[in-house]
Each structure stands twice: as C-alpha cells, then as structure tokens.
Amino acid sequence: MRRDALPTTVPFLDLRGAVGAHKAQMMAAFERVLDSGWYVMGRELQCFEAAWASYCGASHAVGVANGLDALILALEAVGVQPGDEVIVPANTYIATWLAVSHLGAVPVPVEPDPATCNIDVTRIERAITPRTRALLPVHLYGQAADLVPIIDIACRHGLAVVEDAAQAHGACYRGERIGAHGDAVAWSFYPGKNLGALGDGGAVTTHRDDVADRIRVARNYGSRVKYHNEVMGRNSRLDELQAALLMARLPALDSENAARAAIAERYLDELDGLGRHGLTLPLVPAYASPVWHLFVVRHPQRNKLAQALAERGVGTVIHYPVPPHLQPAYAHLGLKAGALPFSERLHEQVLSLPIGPAQTPLQTEFVIDALRSVLPTL
Ligand SMILES: *Cc1c(COP(=O)(O)O)cnc(C)c1O
C-alpha cells in the first residue's frame, strides 16, 4: 500500500512489508550462500555471531536452531540438571517453561508485576528452595525485566540467571543493551520477532567463555572436532542461509525499532484519555527502553473490544489467551484456576494492538480512531 493511501483495514502485523523492505540485501545474501557450496557451520554463521555479539555488547554469540533450543542450551550450560527448580514468570509464552521441563527440571512460576507484566521481583525470594538452580526472567513484549534486583537475588542465593530475550532485540536496561547482564541470554529469530529470519533461528549471548564453549559443543552433536564427541550433544545449528539473511537485516534493526517506538509513542499519547473507558496502557518504568515487539493494552471486556475492532478492520492478537499453568501440557503441576490470580487476570484482559516497522502513520491513526469510537460503546 502507498504510504499516503487511506487505510480501510490495518493488519496486526504486516510481515511481508517488514521483510520486503530488505529484499535486495536478502536476495544478495541468498545468492552468496547458494553459490558458496557450504550450507551449515561456515563463514556466514561466524560473521553473524560476531555481529550479534557486538550488537548486544556480549563477548560471545552462539547461533542455534530456534529460541526454545537457545533456552534449553543456555539452561544446560549454566548447570541446570534433572530435578532442579528454575524460577520462571507465570506470565510468558509457554516456551520459557518448556525449556526448563525438557531438561527434566521443574518450572516454578512467580506472578507478574501488574504494572509491567514482567516478573515481580519482590516475589522471587519466596519461591526459592534448596533445589532452585536458576532464575529465568523474560523481557516480555520487548521491555526489559528489572535485572539489577534479579541478579542481586541470584548472587545472594548462588543461582544462575538465564534471560529469555526472544521478544527484546535491541531493548535497553538502564541505558545498556540487554544481552550480557545474566549468565546467558537466549534469543529467537522466528520470522515475527523484531529481528527475524525466513524460518527458525536462535542464539545465546553471554559474557562467560565457559558457557559459550559448552553451547558451541552441545549444539553440534557434542563435537569440537568432527567425529569426536565429548558430550551427548544435539543438532541445533543456525544454518548459513538464515545467518546470512539475519546479517542482511541487522543493520536496519535500530531504525525498525525506532519506527515501532514512534507508533508506541502515538498510542501512549493519543489513547491516554481512554482510561475512563476501562483501557489500561502499558507502563514503561524508568529503567527500560522497550523495543515494542508487542503493544499490549488491557481491558475488562477484552473479547468484546477485539470483536469491535475486528469489525472496523483492525487486527489484534491475544498474547496469550491461556497461561502456561492452565494449559493441558502442565496439568501435572496441579496448579488450578486461581493459583496465579495476577497472571490469570492478565490473560483475560490483554490485547495486542497492531505495531510493526511497516505500519504507516495513517494506519496508526486508523487504529487510534477505531479505539476512540469503539471503547465508549462497550
Ligand atoms: C518466540 C518466543 C520463544 C521461542 O522462540 P522459538 O524461536 O519460536 O522457539 C521463547 N520465549 C518467548 C518469550 C518467545 O516470545
């Protein structure tokens, strides 16, 4: 669509538009990889790993197959073992919990701070037991969790900190990019993330040489030298093509994040008066500079609001409709409805508005106008 065309609908995310902006660079990357005759564990991966580590201010980046594997490999590398407990946010995408479970460890949920939706740091210490091995905060929706108190608690109790940064490429905490605060930071390059491949991809960044080394070996069959296997590793590699495509998109990450921030600013300014109609806007604490992977509002009549917006042509998504502890996958934990009330209320009320690097100012205005006319009628 032309940037000045009047919209009649606004998609939740225009992924084709976001990716299409990089078509020339991505086609060049594709051709380079195609012609190289080398498709797994080569120069493209090395090049992207160096660039991503440097972007994050980390000593190392290790490319892996996806975000879930990044979390699993990071937890394993900091020493999480079967039977250990890992403290996770109650309010997150289920991948955070699954990574813990796939290692035979137990996710121990902690309620969110209702203001930020991220883990409530004042509730973490109560959840620590002699079996706790690690804290796994999530920088949800693209906004950093409060890392200083989290790392402080970890230090006092001798725990590791692994961060789930799958939604927060380029986000800052107290003015510094996330990616090297905790012992290991897990990234996803799923297509819809702020930095996305054309398929699955992931990485772990870290300031620890030993953690990076363990993951480098574990992602490739436990092998440092071909056909010599030190540990029972996995096959979880970021292939050359995805690494090259990510490298083609990386230079634009900051400007794309700025485009998201401009949309978020408008939403925050222009929807400010709608609190009297039950709308709660996201809160940005002083320590955080979010990258707005999602712009999540809350409303007591969330489903009605989503329906009314859909009728006006505005696409929205619920992140997430069912909290991990109420999924059939986690029935065995025995956490019934009411066990984590803050998280459950969030899941009933959250709604993600359209946002993305290809969204035009007129589209943003269209969303704002739709909210202004729909909210008083609910
Ligand atoms: C996307 C996501 C993941 C998983 O990433 P995949 O690459 O899809 O495996 C993990 N945690 C969070 C918070 C995510 O949003």
Six token digits for residue 242: 């995805």
pLDDT 10s digits, 127-186: 999 999 999 999 999 999 999 999 999 999 999 999 999 999 999 999 999 999 999 999
Rg of the chain over CA atoms, in angstroms? 21
Element (H, E) at 71: helix 67-77
Q: Ligand 1: does its nearest atom lie under 6 Å from the Cβ of 292?
A: no
Give the whole-angstrom CA distance, residue 53 versus residue 353.
31
DSSP state of 292: -
- Check pLDDT > 90 for residue 65: yes
pLDDT of residue 172: 98
Give the whole-angstrom CA distance, residue 164 versus residue 187.
7
Bridge-based pairing of strands 172-173 and 176-177 is antiparallel
92 C-alpha to center of ligand 1: Å? 10
- In this prediction, residue 7 has a pLDDT band, given cuts at 50, 70 and 90, of confident
Residues shown for the chain: 378
Cα dihedral 149, 161, 184, 99 in deg (nearest 10): -130
DSSP state of 44: H
Closest residue CA from atom 2 of ligand 1: 166
* C-alpha closest to that of 179 among 195, 159, 157: 195
Q: In the chain, how long is the greatest CA-to-CA distance?
A: 67
Closest residue CA from atom 10 of ligand 1: 95
Six token digits for residue 327: 């999924």
- Check pLDDT > 80 for residue 1: no
Q: Ligand 1: does its nearest atom lie under 6 Å from the Cβ of 92?
A: yes
Q: Ligand 1: does its nearest atom lie under 6 Å from the Cβ of 67?
A: yes
Give the whole-angstrom CA distance, residue 153 versus residue 159.
8
* Burial group, residue 31, by CB count within 10 angstroms (0-12, 13-18, 19+): exposed
136 C-alpha to center of ligand 1: Å? 13
Mean pLDDT along residues 95-102:
98
Cβ contact 86:135 at 8 Å: yes
323 C-alpha to center of ligand 1: Å? 15
Atom of ligand 1 nearest to the CA of 99: 10
Cβ contact 10:315 at 8 Å: yes
pLDDT 10s digits, 107-128: 999 999 999 999 999 999 999 9
Give the whole-angstrom CA distance, residue 288 versus residue 174.
6
pLDDT 10s digits, 303-358: 999 999 999 999 999 999 999 999 999 999 999 999 999 999 999 999 999 999 99
- The angle subtended at Cα 12 by Cα 173 and Cα 25, nearest 5°, is 70
Strand partners, 109: 88
Residue-averaged pLDDT of the chain: 97
Q: Ligand 1: does its nearest atom lie under 6 Å from the Cβ of 194?
A: no
- In this prediction, residue 2 has a pLDDT band, given cuts at 50, 70 and 90, of low
Six token digits for residue 281: 């806007």
* C-alpha closest to that of 196 among 188, 208, 204: 188
- In this prediction, residue 243 has a pLDDT band, given cuts at 50, 70 and 90, of very high
- Check pLDDT > 90 for residue 45: yes
pLDDT 10s digits, 175-206: 999 999 999 999 999 999 999 999 999 999 99
Percent of the chain with pLDDT over 70: 99
Taking domain 252-377, whether its CATH number is 3.90.1150.10 is answered by yes
Q: Which residues contact 10 (CB under 8 A, 6 or more apart)?
A: 313, 314, 315, 354, 359, 363, 366, 367
314 C-alpha to center of ligand 1: Å? 25
Domain ranges of the chain: 18-111+118-251, 252-377
142 C-alpha to center of ligand 1: Å? 12
Q: Which CATH number fits domain 18-111+118-251: 3.40.50.2300, 3.40.640.10, 2.60.40.1080, 3.20.20.70?
A: 3.40.640.10
- In this prediction, residue 3 has a pLDDT band, given cuts at 50, 70 and 90, of low
pLDDT of residue 185: 98
- In this prediction, residue 4 has a pLDDT band, given cuts at 50, 70 and 90, of low
Q: End-to-end alpha-carbon separation of the chain, Å?
A: 31
166 C-alpha to center of ligand 1: Å? 5
Single pTM value for the model: 0.97
CB count, 10 Å around CB of 153? Answer: 17
